[in-house]
Structure 1
Amino acid sequence: MNGSVDARLGRLRWRARRGTRELDRLLGAWLDRRYAQADETRRAGFDALLGESDPDLWDWLTGHLDPPPRYAAIVDEIRALDRV
């Protein structure tokens, strides 16, 4: 990866640290396993998702609530990683 991509990944990794082990694991897994192959749309979706509150993220990622349509694809992808 080039320097600007590395810097962006570092910022995302910092924002993905939420203070709960479970959310950190779920969000970090996507960064570790999918970020490098993701297109710009998916990367922007993940970035936007990180702007949401921890309770909402938890409910969406654990399936307690359906995410808003704009996050459905990225949430599904993160959930799928948790089942692998």
Structure 2
Amino acid sequence: MAAALLRRALLLRRVLPSPSPSPTLPAASAHRLLSAFTTSQQNAATTVDLSSDESRRRLLNRLVYRSKQRGFLELDLVLGSWVEQHVHSMDESNIRALLQVLDLENPDLWKWFTGQEQPPEDLNSNPVFTAIKSKVTDNLSKHASPETRSTPGQPWVRGWDDIKKGKDGPKYGNQ
């Protein structure tokens, strides 16, 4: 998020004229210009152009990159590998659904995938989200024993001090 804001600020700096001794834009005009600029950038980023092989290749590469480079290791691995396996067979509606998932915040997305929290209702109707969530749930069922997982509604934090079971021990995780 911070990197995207920095890129937009640098692009805006290139677009706006350099300061001169003459009076600058009023604050309201500058705000409208910045708002229009960021809105056009956001719309350009979410445009799904599948008109040519080259534009489709670029879009798919961008989606794989966004899914693998989120800065949240577990999510990078889960989301990145799923997208890499399925993105080439997606149609336009599924690509739009994937974009909706990629726009979500990392901590929330991880909690929803692992079942720590219930996802919003509109997200439950997203086919990409439900497919990834079922993959994560299936992997958890196959490879993790139930006592190592969190109960629904509790954070999924396990640590080196889980063996402390006294009065001063943690209720869950490494507190």
- Give the TM-score range, shorter chain: 0.7 to 0.9
Structure 1: any 5+ residue segments left out of the alignment? none
* Residue of structure 2 in register with 1:77 after alignment: 131
For the residue of structure 2 that corresponds to 1:34, the secondary structure is: helix
Larger mean CA deviation between 53-62 and 72-81 belongs to 72-81
TM superposition shift of 1:41: 1.2
Query: Which string of whole-angstrom CA distances, capped at 9 and with x for unpartnered residues, describes residues 20-62 of structure 1?
Result: 2210111112221111122211111111111111111111111
Once the two structures are aligned, what percentage of the paired residues are identical? 31
TM-score for the superposition, normalised by structure 2 = 0.43
TM superposition shift of 1:7: 0.6
Larger mean CA deviation between 10-19 and 48-57 belongs to 10-19
Find runs of 4+ consecutive structure 1 residues off by over 6 angstroms. Answer: none
Aligned pair 1:13/2:79, yes or no?
Answer: no
* Relative contact order, higher structure (CA 8 A, sep 6+): 1
For the residue of structure 1 that corresponds to 2:103, the secondary structure is: coil
Contact 2:64 2:83 survives alignment (8 Å): yes
Question: Which structure: greater helix fraction?
Answer: 1
Larger radius of gyration: 2
Contact 1:60 1:75 survives alignment (8 Å): no
Give the paired residue count: 84
Counterpart mapping for 1:1-84 below 5 A: 2-16=53-67, 17-72=69-124, 73-82=127-136, 83=138
State the alpha-carbon separation in 2 of the partners of residues 56 and 39 from structure 1: 26
Structure 2: any 5+ residue segments left out of the alignment? 1-51, 140-175
